[in-house]
Amino acid sequence: MSIQNKNSGNKKTVKRKEPLISIENLEVKFINQDATIHAVNGVDINLDKGKVLTILGESGSGKSVTMRSILRLLPPKASLSGSIVLDGKNIIDMSQDQLSSMRGHEVSMIFQEPMVAFDPVYKVGSQIAETVVRHLGTSFNEGLARAKELFDLVQIPSAKSRLSAYPHELSGGMRQRAMIALALACSPKLLLADEPTTALDATVQIQILLLLRELQRELGMSIIFVTHDVGVATEIADELAVMYAGKIVEIGNVNNVIKKPAHPYTRGLLSSTVNSESKGKRLEVIGGSPPDMSKLFEGCAFSPRCNKVLEHCWGQKPTVKSLSINQRASCFNI
């Protein structure tokens, strides 16, 4: 894509950087006999190469479904619409063969629970080697050598001997590092991380976060990281997207969003989080409960829980407002 500079006598072409992944009007519905669950309702995301986007929100807000949509890892009865363009290719239009080649090679995912991701009856080294053989066409021994390199990269001690371990023989932190090694096996352009530190204790959690950030910078990857923890989000993100009821209600540079939150839901999340300034202060809470996603809300879905609600919030959907080059939000109170 290019634009012309109209302020000059000469026509000067200026190249604009295309995002690595562009998601437009993504909608996901889960349809069954009893109800239709509107899990994702018009998500728009652009992520540049070499950047980290964190999606922050409560459980049930649609974060993980958005991630799985990128890989098209959804149940057969799920309805998926919109556009997901990765490096010029629309993932929604891909055949099953194209998806198989793309998964693990161009886009990889770190799942929340590595015990589910690894097959319990095969050694972790063999599983990583098979991934390398499948996507890169190497021999199995070359795949094992690559697995050893990756174990060293993610700082697994005694890497060579750990290749022969079964998933249950590794601690939670070691399993998560092995899961990261598996995700990085074929040098993906985009890494998806679905709450990869939730099941870990605080010490291991910060180690994994620092490791991911270090690997991202070293390998030049883009990462989409999902969490419900504000502290985790600020630790790893370049850009922060706040998600509620299947929609992005605020997005921007992480420093802008944290220091000057615009949406009442973002402010509520930040004010209900313990930090160094919380001592002696009563924590605020977001009242009420997340909405029933089987029912479409006519206006702003956050209205029943919002302390700044206006009359027209109940019947009209707020449009996206740009607050700066690096921040925008959907709210009538901005």
Amino acid at 86: L
Among residues 81, 143, 73, 77, the alpha carbon closest in space to that of 108 is found at 73
Q: What is the pLDDT of residues 49-68, one digit of tens each?
A: 999 999 999 999 999 999 99
CA distance 73 to 70: 8
Q: Which residues of the chain have pLDDT under 70?
A: 1-16, 275-278
**Angstrom distance (rounded) from CA 225 to CA 248:** 14
pLDDT the model gives residue 150: 93
DSSP characters for 14-64?
A: EEPPPPSEEEEEEEEEEE-SS-EEEEEEEEEEEE-TT-EEEEE--TTSSHH
Residue 278 pLDDT: 66
Residue-level pLDDT at 15: 54
> From CA 186, how far away is CA 146, in angstroms rounded?
9
Query: CB neighbours of 255 closer than 8 A, spacing ≥ 6?
Result: none
